[in-house]
Amino acid sequence: MPELPEVETTRRGIAPHVCGRRIDGLIVRQRRLRWPVPADLGQHLEGRRIDAVGRRGKYLLLSLGTGTLIIHLGMSGSLRILRRPDPPGPHDHIDLLLEDETRLRFTDPRRFGAWLWSAGTAAQHPLLATLGPEPLETGFNAGHLHALARRRRSAVKSFIMNSRVVVGVGNIYANEALFRAGIHPARAAGRISLARYERLVEAIKTVLREAIDQGGTTLRDFVDGEGRPGYFRHNLQVYQRGAQDCPRCGAVIRESRIGQRSSYFCARCQR
DNA sequence: AGAGGTACCTGGCAGC
DNA sequence: TGCTGCCAGGTACCTC
């Protein structure tokens, strides 16, 4: 699933094709996603023009003036621009029909994604109301992390994957950022110094920026707005590299489960 | 308040 | 080859 870099790659890919365009219709072939697609969604969309494509965490936000179409890609979702109405595959659940025959097609084999409507601004929607800061903005800093972590005993990896702490950091980039920062993923969040949180914040920002530059990470499903995969997979240093050599020190990369998620780390470099 | 487990889905893969 | 069990990029919701 798409983490922040994949969602941002999608946003950048679709924005030029949908911004300013009028919505002519909505085809919902499968209503049962993470939540049911609202039965009246099409009525909110048809005839409206898309003003902007924004992002908050892993949520894509299509602003229509009268409200916001909120799209989440879940674990396996992707959005593509179609210039002609290609016949839908079994997991092509939704087409947003735009003027000039353009379509925005939503594909999601696992159906953990979501298409929701928010009247007014997206920030008012309950799903977005409790989200933490954006990792690439200044509100995300070591002081914020260090203060929030006080007395918390959960693993720092689970801590930075908590969307109330910071948005957009999923399993791949949590593993990669902790490796770059030299912090053991199982270390209690409340037992990390401010100085080490400085390193972690820098690592998170850097790894996310680099991944965005590479068009995200494609493990299986992810494609950008043009149907192309992301290439950051070649830059992963620990994720899915259990039993291989640590690229920094040569020790064997270890694999374990933390908070029910696969975790990869070098026990020599990360403390 | 925080931590941990469960649930929602499909598909690919390893092992038998 | 086919079956079974496990695993996968997320996250809301429940219980303790």
Q: Which amino acid is at A214?
A: Q
Q: Is the CB of A108 under 7 A from strand C?
A: no
A155 occurs within a structural domain: yes
Q: Are A20 and A50 in contact (CB under 8 A)?
A: yes
A204-210 contact pairs (CB < 8 A, 24+): A204/A135, A204/A140, A204/A160, A204/A166, A204/A169, A204/A173, A204/A177, A205/A135, A205/A136, A205/A140, A206/A180, A207/A173, A207/A176, A207/A177, A207/A180, A208/A4, A208/A5, A208/A135, A208/A136, A208/A168, A208/A169, A208/A173, A209/A136, A210/A235
Same domain, A189 and A256: yes
Q: Is the CB of A3 under 7 A from strand C?
A: yes
The CATH code of the domain that includes A161 is: 1.10.8.50
User: What's the pLDDT tens digit per position in A18-35?
Assistant: 999 999 999 999 999 999
Q: Is the CB of A52 under 7 A from strand C?
A: no
Same domain, A125 and A146: no
Is position A164 annotated as part of the catalytic site?
A: no
Is position A2 annotated as part of the catalytic site?
A: yes
Q: Which of residues 207-236 of A touch strand C (CB under 7 A)?
A: 216-222, 230
Same domain, A117 and A18: yes
Termini Cα distance of chain A? 28
DSSP SS3 for A245: strand
**Domain edge (last residue) among A97, A129, A161:** A129
Q: Is the CB of A154 under 7 A from strand B?
A: yes
Predicted local confidence at residue A81, as pLDDT: 97
State the total domains in chain A. 2
Same domain, A31 and A66: yes
A25-28 contact pairs (CB < 8 A, 24+): A25/A97, A26/A94, A26/A95, A26/A96, A26/A97, A27/A94, A27/A95, A27/A97, A28/A93, A28/A94
Given CA atoms A190, A194, A199, A202 in this order, what sign does their dihedral have? Answer: positive
A174 occurs within a structural domain: yes
Same domain, A115 and A165: no
Same domain, A122 and A146: no
**Domain edge (last residue) among A129, A152, A168:** A129
A270 occurs within a structural domain: no
Same domain, A122 and A215: no
A103 occurs within a structural domain: yes
Q: How far is CA A16 from CA A71, A102, A212, A230, in A?
A: 17, 12, 17, 19
Predicted local confidence at residue A1, as pLDDT: 64
Burial class (CB in 10 A: 0-12, 13-18, 19+), A87: exposed
Among the listed residues A12, A152, A187, A261, the single catalytic one is A261
Q: What is the DSSP letter of A22?
A: B
The CATH code of the domain that includes A125 is: 3.20.190.10
A53 occurs within a structural domain: yes
Same domain, A57 and A112: yes
Same domain, A169 and A260: yes
Predicted local confidence at residue A121, as pLDDT: 87
Is position A3 annotated as part of the catalytic site?
A: yes
Among the listed residues A2, A5, A135, A185, the single catalytic one is A2
Same domain, A176 and A148: yes
A135 occurs within a structural domain: no
A271 occurs within a structural domain: no
**Domain edge (last residue) among A129, A159, A183:** A129
User: What's the pLDDT tens digit per position in A93-103?
Assistant: 999 999 999 99
pTM of the model: 0.97
Print pLDDT tens along chain A (271 aa).
699 999 999 999 999 999 999 999 999 999 999 999 999 999 999 999 999 999 999 999 999 999 999 999 999 999 999 999 999 999 999 999 999 999 999 999 999 999 999 998 898 899 999 999 999 999 999 999 999 999 999 999 999 999 999 999 999 999 999 999 999 999 999 999 999 999 999 999 999 999 999 999 999 889 999 999 999 999 999 999 999 999 999 999 999 999 999 999 999 999 9
The parent domain of residue A36 ranges over 4-129
Q: Is the CB of A152 under 7 A from strand B?
A: yes
Nearest nucleotide (C1') to the CA of residue A164?
Answer: C11
Nearest nucleotide (C1') to the CA of residue A76?
Answer: C9
Predicted local confidence at residue A120, as pLDDT: 81
Same domain, A156 and A258: yes
Q: Is the CB of A109 under 7 A from strand B?
A: yes
